[in-house]
Amino acid sequence: MADGEAHRWRIKPGHALDLATIDTRSTAGAPGSDAETKEAAPALADRLRDLQERLWAERRQSLLVVFQAIDAGGKDGAAKHVFRGLDPAGARVVAFGAPNEEELAHDFLWRIHRHTPARGEVVVFNRSHYEDVLVVRVHDLVPESVWRPRYETIDHFEAGLAEAGTRVVKVFLHISRAEQAKRLQARLDDPTKRWKFRRGDLEERALWDDYQAAFAEAISQTSTTVAPWYVVPADRKWYRNWAVSRILVETLETMDPRYPPAEDLAGVVIT
């Protein structure tokens, strides 16, 4: 990918990531203030929509976007705001929860591979195969001898997708512990959002440091040239939305999707 705005968030292969060194409230590169950046959003959304339309028409390539974050990190919000204008015929969001009995009877990538994009599609994963090196590690659901080799398995899986024409973009929405507390409290206080809150969120919050370590290592181990990770400061939602949009626009521009040639319709008259 040619360097544009997106390079500032991209994690280079082999980089030992320390999430504590990344300012979750950063607005680096934004067009300006909150209001100014929001004013720039429609043009960015139009460009994203145009590129997605070309991708869908071309039907040669596809785009897989992976969102990961700590609880209340903004995965739902990013998907809602960034992808709202895309043609639903060629775009979909897949949310992964805890695996069911059938999924547990297969290898950990079985349930993932079934949802990868067909040619022309944009697919967004809200959580993903990375839960199998995150949750299982933090909660000690399987021994390290099981989850650690999955980094290499994931690399091979994503490389295979890339070889088949799917561009893989992985975005970690990075919020602070204080911001998480604020968002969880907001859910609890708002009757229309209280359904999103569960007591287990507090138990997960107590494991903050363990999750930060797990995220950092997973990102460090699996950010590759063909499937890069981007760490986006996400305390400020307006900046998060702008940054994710920029990453996707720049990615699609390098993919350069094109409308297929039209049939020779010389002499055709519509009556």
Q: What is the pLDDT of residue 3?
A: 57
Domain map (residue ranges) of the chain: 5-98+106-255
Q: What is the pLDDT of residue 77?
A: 96
Q: What is the pLDDT of residue 265?
A: 75
Sign of CA dihedral 28, 69, 134, 132: negative
Q: What is the pLDDT of residue 185?
A: 95
Consecutive sets of 10 residues in the chain, 271 residues long: mean pLDDT of each?
78 97 97 94 96 98 98 96 93 95 97 98 97 97 97 98 98 98 95 90 96 98 98 98 97 97 83 85
Q: Which residues contact 6 (CB under 8 A, 6 or more apart)?
A: 230, 246, 247, 250, 251
Q: What is the pLDDT of residue 2?
A: 42
Q: Say what the pTM is.
A: 0.95
Q: What is the pLDDT of residue 266?
A: 78
Q: What is the pLDDT of residue 60?
A: 98
Third-level CATH fold of 5-98+106-255: Rossmann fold (3.40.50)
Determine phi and psi for 66, rounding to 5 degrees.
Answer: -110, 125
